[in-house]
Structure 1
């Protein structure tokens, strides 16, 4: 295919239950100049059969069935294969609106943007509800770093391929937590040509295989922040006017590590007391080893560890959840 506008990279791992809906959503895009790079990362279910069936039927699908190396390495392979002007990422258990890539590409092309992004609609298939946390508008450039859905996911964005290749931006392969954050942080650091549209074109499905409570995996978040700090060290030397990114980094560190690691263990019906004790100590020990740890962030980590311990001990989780739900309903 000539004149490919967007290369859509889809890593696949044991998502046969959701894969058909995902692929149908990209094949039905109103933007026709797209290529679909479908990468099966050693799935053990029927994903390979589905991928083969679709790749034989549609010429704009490039399919590779490979050994399992993880999502980051698989996405990196997709970046190297991409022929499009822009690159997009789609998780194989999610799906997108029909006009998503046309809207994002047209605005990016007209305004010469390096990154164009949209909102995300979350579908909780377990609790059978849906919600959006997309910001209504962006007031300043630093907001792109601090709104969770704008910095923590590459899937609601298209990236200029030239930006990615020129600056050697890839997903870190030494961790399975926070790698999306690293990729987006680096990408945003190299440009200010970014825009956001307040439309939830991307549909994220929460289901039993999302590994939300994989506590072992969560410690990998610290590895990702170590990677981000190393990047910032070299980046700031080349671009001294962007030292403001360091303060943004510490804000993200507070949100995702000092607070995030402990808050995820607040539900004592899901995380046992033994596991809470075990992993809260593991997290604290890993945080202590951070060469860039400041006293302020250390105190915040201790605060959240003790706060979550208290909430668990007094069985306050469901009371707080009920109160917050009532406030949302009133709004």
Structure 2
């Protein structure tokens, strides 16, 4: 290994990902930019993950393993950062991987444009398909942007991951950034803090970070565990923190933030409400209602400004009316026909609404939501 200071510190928290970790590590150790350090934090894995890490460390002197009890990704990342020596930081989840020329291209781009952060493209994948998700289609345009900031390009709000970023270490240290310990969705808050402090944010769409959707029901990632009470409460906690952050930075950012929450963060939770416990269902209604009240207090008293779909608007009106029973039926029908073409889906849902004698109730919610 080159004895000079590493250009990039690649940080990988690992917890029970023996099925995926080799694909992740192969994409890192074979990078065209060789002057990197690789910090692997074994966060108390109980499967064969540690043995795999140790095997790779024997073959590559750039790898440093930190072994610790299971305390969550935030603590693991913060610990790794404190041990890092690179000019830039990068985070990769241990079930994901990255293009083999990613760090060479992103490093050169960051250096050329004196960026505090560089964002790069994200592709979701499973066993069958690879695609660009809606949030990253909004936040990562196809053309490169050498330098911008959150005020000039507020669509950055839609990219709330820490993993598709190269972050200047001196910038990180200067603002004493830290992942929120003891909470899920620690990435969301760090990303928002980075955006609010950065003078120069580069967007480079020519390399890809590959974000896995785990299909093993027993080993789903945090973002897939939507019926877990702590998962929901942590998401609400983090989103409220981000609200405060964007309000302080520039109130114009709140419209983008609120739309993302209403159009994405809450809808994916609501669409799983029938799989949630009764206690969690009540908590979802109450806490989303409080969030809606904050939106209304900000002066956004008409949800139409956020251009929500008709069924999503009606779902939120059901929450405002505290009508859990009807909300659950709306979610059931919209999910039941999710794969159908839009006009067929609308027809079938309308047919079920008539059949279930819900027409008057739905009509009332529709009128109230307009």
Shared fold per TM-score greater than 0.5: yes
Partner of 1:145: 157
Distance change >3 Å, CA 6–CA 297, structure 1 → 2: farther
TM norm structure 1: 0.82
8 Å contact 1:182–1:228 — kept in the other structure?
yes
> Distance between the aligned counterparts of 1:308 and 1:132, measured in 2?
30
CA deviations on 1:117-172 (whole Å, 9 max, x unpaired) are 111121123xx2221234344795111113xxxx2211111111112111121111
Residue matched to 2:149? none
In structure 2, how many angstroms separate the alpha carbons of the residues matched to 1:286 and 1:31? 46
Residue matched to 1:188: 195
Distance 1:24 1:304 in 2: 48
Match of 2:236 among 219, 222, 228: 222
Contact 2:90 2:163 in 1 (8 A): yes
1:112-151 matched pairs, under 5 angstroms: 112-125=114-127, 128-133=128-133, 134-135=136-137, 136-137=141-142, 140-146=152-158, 151=159
Whole-angstrom CA distance in 2 between matches of 1:263 and 1:196 = 32
Q: Once the two structures are superposed, what CA deviation does each residue of 1:231-260 show, in whole Å capped at 9, x if it has no partner?
A: 456xx3xx6xx3433444433433444434
What's the Cα RMSD here? 2.9
Q: Does structure 1 residue 303 correspond to structure 2 residue 313?
A: no
CA gap 1:292/1:173 in 2 versus in 1, 3 angstroms: farther
3-state SS of the aligned residue for 2:47? coil
Q: Which residue of 1 aligns with 2:106?
A: 104
Q: Which structure's CA Rg is the greater one?
A: 2
Shift of the alpha carbon at 1:278? Answer: 4.0
CA 244–80 in structure 1, closer or farther in 2 if over 3 Å, else same: farther
**Shift in CA distance, 131/318, structure 1 to aligned 2, threshold 3 Å:** farther
Q: In the alignment, does 2:210 pair up with 1:203?
A: yes
Choose 182-191 or 255-264, whichever is displaced more.
255-264
Query: Hey, what does 1:92 align to over in structure 2?
Result: 94
Q: Which runs of 5+ in 1 are unaligned?
A: 327-331
Q: Evaluate the alpha carbon distance shift between residue 85 and residue 132 of structure 1 in structure 2; reply closer, same or farther with a 3 A threshold.
A: same
Aligned residues: 305
Contact 2:40 2:53 in 1 (8 A): yes
Q: Contact 1:95/1:202 (CA < 8 Å) preserved in 2?
A: yes
Deviation larger for 82-91 or 193-202: 193-202
Of 16, 19, 22, which residue of structure 1 is paired with 2:18?
16
| Secondary structure at 2:39 match in 1 | strand
**What are structure 2's unaligned runs of at least 5 residues?**
146-151, 304-312, 345-370
SS at match of 2:16: coil
CA deviations over 1:261-317 (Å, ceiling 9, x no partner): 21344xx6xx2xxx365433211223455698233589767337578533344x342
Q: 5 Å matches for 1:145-294?
A: 145-146=157-158, 151-176=159-184, 178-207=185-214, 208=216, 209-211=219-221, 212-215=224-227, 216=229, 217-232=231-246, 236=248, 242-265=250-273, 271=275, 275=276, 277-288=278-289, 293-294=294-295
What secondary structure does 2:71 align onto?
coil
